[in-house]
Amino acid sequence: MSKKIFSGVQPTGNLHLGNYLGAIKNFVKLSNDNTNDCIFCVVDLHAITAKQNPKELKDNILETIATFVASGIDPKKSIIFNQSRVPAHSEAAWILSCIARMGWLNRMTQFKEKAGKDKEKASIGLFSYPVLMAADILLYDATHVPVGDDQKQHLELCRDIAQKFNNEFEVEDFLKIPEPLIQKEFSRIMSLKDGSKKMSKSELSDLSRINLTDTKDQIINKIKKAKTDTLPMPSTIEELKERHEVKNLIGIYSNLIETSLEKTIVSFSGKNFSDFKDKLSQVLVEKIEPISNEIKKLKRDKEYLSQILVEGSQKANEIASKKIKKIHEIVGF
């Protein structure tokens, strides 16, 4: 049976290596398999759960599309669109927010992290964010959702919401229960400055991440400055237990060249750390520089990028409007 793939990325700027290795690289693989139907959404409604500068948001939407295309997603084969152009997302999110329970959302760790100490001041949108995400997925009957490790809990919530909707309205199998597709290894890329923190768009220091728009020199410089420790290169996996930064760098390298952590450890055991960093920079530049150049080129062609969005949202609208119509009937509108 063909897989229906759906995933989303927020247009909040600074797309980085974590986004690429945790999610986008997987999108490209899945979209190259002609038996899959793929939909990739720029989730601009999610982006405004934190304050955005409207002009920058517009720009970031186009940059996210450029990143998808530059990474190898073909807009002729996959549907690429932005969420706000398809009204069914907001509508379904409201209906599903009457199904989801406060208790379920109260358990979401991402909300706790993002809201920080002063939960009372967080927007309601930030709290109900995972319900909108469930709406995104369920409107398209997605069977598989490729995401980074940090989205696992949101996907479980999506499954719970779908199940409860089907049970409550006695419509077995109407909302399809999606499977997460999370890479088993190195699915959480950490900051280059602190191995206990996720690599993130919002981290103040640009040295903490490799941006997908970085130049060759920036990449080399960031790897040179990446935090490590004073011990030699490890010769066993056990040695990595307490060495978060080193483990992250070895993980990034292994992910990029698609090998196991063990094999990377064996090939660098006994070598100097600087040899490893040189090799890591080299594979990063090989992978990221062409993407970075292509993003910059595509960004100059705003018309082409806008056209992708127009065509993609038409196709998405056709699917989503049918599903929301059925939801209306089921609910009794």
Q: Give the shortest CB-287-to-ligand TRP separation in angstroms.
A: 21
- Catalytic residue status for 77: no
Q: Give the shortest CB-69-to-ligand TRP separation in angstroms.
A: 18
Tokens 């999370």: give the residue: 182
Q: Is 200 exposed, middle or buried (0-12, 13-18, 19+ CB in 10 A)?
A: middle
Residues 99-118, one symbol each (x = binds ligand AMP by CB under 6 A, - = not), give --------------------
Question: CA dist 108 to 43, 190, 327, Å?
Answer: 19, 20, 26
Amino acid at 321: S
Residue 60 near ligand AMP by CB under 6 A: no
Collapsing DSSP states into helix, strand and coil, what is residue 18?
Answer: helix
Q: Give the shortest CB-147-to-ligand AMP separation in angstroms.
A: 4
Residue 6 near ligand TRP by CB under 6 A: yes
Of residues 177 through 216, those in contact with ligand AMP by CB under 6 A are 187-189, 198-199, 201
Question: Applying CB under 6 A, what is the total number of residues that bind ligand AMP?
Answer: 16
Q: Give the shortest CB-98-to-ligand AMP separation in angstroms.
A: 25
Question: CA dist 332 to 167, 224, 321, Å?
Answer: 15, 61, 17
Q: For residues 9 and 324, which CB has a smaller minimum distance to ligand AMP in the complex?
A: 9
Residue 19 near ligand AMP by CB under 6 A: yes
Cα separation, 61 vs 55, in Å, equals 10
Which one of the listed residues 3, 58, 114, 296 is annotated catalytic?
114
Cα separation, 169 vs 167, in Å, equals 6
Of residues 141 through 160, those in contact with ligand TRP by CB under 6 A are 145, 147, 151, 154
Task: Select the residue interacting with ligand TRP from 133, 261, 284, 319 (CB under 6 A).
Answer: 133
- Catalytic residue status for 117: no
Residues 15-34, one symbol each (x = binds ligand TRP by CB under 6 A, - = not), give --------------------
Beta carbons within 8 Å of 43's beta carbon, 6+ residues apart: 8, 9, 10, 11, 82, 83, 132, 133, 136
Residue 150 near ligand AMP by CB under 6 A: yes
Question: Sign of the CA dihedral 30, 93, 17, 248?
Answer: negative
Cα separation, 243 vs 245, in Å, equals 6
The residues that touch ligand AMP, with contacts defined as CB under 6 A, are 9-10, 18-19, 22-23, 147-148, 150-151, 187-189, 198-199, 201
The residues that touch ligand TRP, with contacts defined as CB under 6 A, are 6-8, 10, 43, 46, 133, 136-137, 145, 147, 151, 154
